[in-house]
Amino acid sequence: MTTSAKPAPLVCIGDPLIDILFRDAEPLLAKYGLRANDAIRATVDHSALYGETSDFQTTLVAGGAAQSTARGAAYILPLNSVVYSGCVGADAQANFLREANEREGVRTIYNIHPTLPTGACAVLLTGHNRSLVTNVAAAAAFDIAHFSTPDMQEVLAGARIIYTTGFFLANTLESTMYLARQAASRDQVRVCAQHLRTVHPRLHFAKFEAVLPFCDVVLGNEADARSWATAAGLDGDTLSLENIAQAICALPFEASKTLHKRSRTVILTNGSNPTILTTEHETKIIAVPLVPSDEIVDTNGAGDAFAGGLFAGMVLGKPMDVCIALGHRMGAMSVKHVGPQYSFPKVDVLNDL
């Protein structure tokens, strides 16, 4: 099942997951040997975790980094401005995700895997900490042939911004490079989020090295940035985030990008600490508005919400300072809810910017 393939300015492609949020999950951390604030891929040792719902307060939420970002951008943009794609199973979980996207204004064009189930992420909440255990399942089986379907061809041709994540890159370099080359040939802005800490820099650094020359915007958090720096042979533990951002910004472009005289923007978030914005001309340190501790419900997905606000601002043609302010507002909204969710009725986050 697909929706209309009418082009949209923002296309997000990633690993669609259903998030299973466990409240007061300290016993599960102990049982499965997990850290309170971490993100890992599931192994056979975690197979029973996703069924531990009877003894805990749980919530199901549409998740996956790029999918949460798509919903965040759609919160701000006019209807039919955002398309999302990724691989899901032919199951009820995929229907849950599709309905959540449609409800929040995201048009979905899924690649349906005939046998694998839709991916899931167990989110173990303890206070303000969250431990993520992801079973990617169908999400890791994205078929590059999906990009050749008429719907996806039309959507990709009409996009102004194409966003994908390090998670997607780790699973399918071939598909990511297809997107990169298509964006370069059409002079579209291509955005890549790093997620290097989660996808393991030593295993996947070469993949990032392959795709970064095509990226006009690189988005990551402090842990991503330090992981990249270490894998690149820099001192990731002691370098400032500003210096790491400048190193990423200075990486060479692919030849066709150079012909278009492109410049790269690097944005690094660091929780409640200032956000780093680096271009070829300058580096800015932008304060993050404070969210009172007693208003924070769940930080899971805050970075994806930030990305949604950022890309919405870019689609609207806002200056990058304003785009980051929109990202901060969406991130602040997200942490006041369980999981990567947003406030309804909608709040006018563009007001006063």
pLDDT in tens, 233-249: 999 999 999 999 999 99
C-alpha to C-alpha distance for 71 and 102, rounded to whole angstroms: 9
Whole-model pTM: value is 0.91
C-alpha to C-alpha distance for 111 and 323, rounded to whole angstroms: 31
Residues of the chain with pLDDT under 70: 1-5, 195-202, 255-261
Handedness of CA 244, 250, 255, 258 (dihedral sign): positive
Sorted by where each begins, the domain ranges of the chain are 10-16+64-117+137-334
Q: Which CATH superfamily is domain 10-16+64-117+137-334 in?
A: Ribokinase (3.40.1190.20)
Tell me the two tokens of residue 115: 């046998």
User: Where is 316: in which H helix or E strand?
Assistant: none
Asked if 299 and 338 count as a contact pair (C-beta separation under 8 A), the reply is: no
Rg of the chain taking only CA atoms, in angstroms: 19
Q: What is the pLDDT of residue 281?
A: 93
pLDDT in tens, 4-30: 567 899 999 999 999 999 999 999 999
How many Cβ atoms sit within 10 Å of the Cβ of residue 61?
Answer: 23
Strand order in the sheet with 58-63: 38-41, 129-135, 119-126, 17-22, 58-63
Strand partners, 106: 82
Q: What is the pLDDT of residue 200?
A: 59
C-alpha to C-alpha distance for 139 and 145, rounded to whole angstroms: 15
Is beta strand 273-278 parallel, antiparallel or unpaired with respect to 265-270?
antiparallel
Report, as residue numbers or ranges, the catalytic residues: 304
